[in-house]
Amino acid sequence: MRRRLPLLICLFSGLFFTIQFFIPHQEVRRLYADGLRWLIVVATFAVVLATGSLINHHIRKLRRRDKDWSYSLVTLLALLGMGIAGFSTGTRPGTLFNKLFLNVQVPMQSTMFGILAFYIASASYRAFRARSKEATLLLLAAFLLMLSAVSFMSYYFPHITTLSEWLLMVPNLAAQRGILFGVFLGTLATSIKIILGIERGWMGGGR
């Protein structure tokens, strides 16, 4: 029962949301619209669960005094501080919550991704080698794209832009579409298997 009931819920919700696409009847549309709002509500709790798991993980680290446990304290205090700021002052511009977002979260998150530029430069220098004909073709395609992004090159040598546009709209399109078909067919098969209960990985261990 513990595993049968969730499988039945999955089957009925999956079948309903699949079949509703083909039925334009008003009542079905109404149920479908309500169903979508239910999905939004359930997704809200899923987001909250992620935060709960994070808190759990760091409290455990603190209790066990694991390596770098003092940083877990930083995380929990930051979470608490930001939460108090949010729930007490609200989320409007000018509030402490909004200031913390713009001056603490935004700089750090942006910078974490900004340092990737250094790593991509280093990786390009050390690892990007034309070891074979295929790798050379990859390199040449990348060169063309990068040159077209250099503003004075694309302005004074318009053929670079024309060629890169052709590259994107013809061979790149072909490859991306081929991959798209493959990925979609795989997703379709997996979706059907999930709805029918054949694919049960989401349930965790056991049959």
Partner 1 sequence: MIPMDTLWTWIAAFLTLAIFSFLYKDNPFYKFAEHLFVGVSAAYTLVIVYYNSFVPNLIVPLFREHNYWFIIPGLLGLLFFARFIPNLGYLILFPIAFTIGGYAGLSIGPGLQARLLKQLQGSMLHPADFADPGLLINKLIVLIGILGTMLYFYFSKEHKGVLKVATNIGIWFIMVGFGAAFGYTVMARASLLIGRVQFLLTDWLHLIR
Partner 2 sequence: MNEFFVRLSKIDRRYIFLLVAVSVIVPLLFPFHYPTRVTRHTQAVFDIVDQIPPVSNPILISFEYGPSTMPECHPMAYAILRHAFSRRVRVIGITLSADATGLGEQALSDVAREYGREYGKDYVYLGYKPGVSAVMLSIGEDIKKTFPRDFYGQPTSGIPMLTEVHNYSQIPLVIPLTGSQTATSWLIYAGARYHARVADGVTAVMASELYAFLQTKQLSGLLAGLKGAAEYERLVQQAGYTKNEGKATRGMDALSTMHLVIITFIILGNIGFFLSRRSAKKGERP
Q: Is 22 in the site for partner 2 (CB under 8 A)?
A: no
Sign of CA dihedral 118, 122, 127, 132: positive
Measured CA angle at 71 (ends 76, 109), to 5 deg: 80
Interaction between residue 198 and partner 1 (CB under 8 A): no
Strand ranges for 120-198 from DSSP E: none
Taking CB under 8 A as the criterion, the residue among 33, 59, 74, 198 binding partner 1 is 74
Cα separation of 165 and 141, whole Å?
Answer: 11
Q: Smallest distance, Å, CB 118 to partner 2?
A: 5
Interaction between residue 124 and partner 1 (CB under 8 A) = yes
Interaction of residue 50 with partner 2, rule CB under 8 A: no
Q: Is 31 in the site for partner 1 (CB under 8 A)?
A: no
Residue 198 contact partner, candidates partner 1, partner 2, none, CB within 5 to 8 A by sort of partner: none
Surface-to-core class of residue 97, CB atoms within 10 Å of its CB (0-12 exposed, 13-18 middle, 19+ buried) = buried
Q: Which stretch binds partner 2 (CB under 8 A): 7-15, 55-63, 149-157, 187-195?
A: 149-157
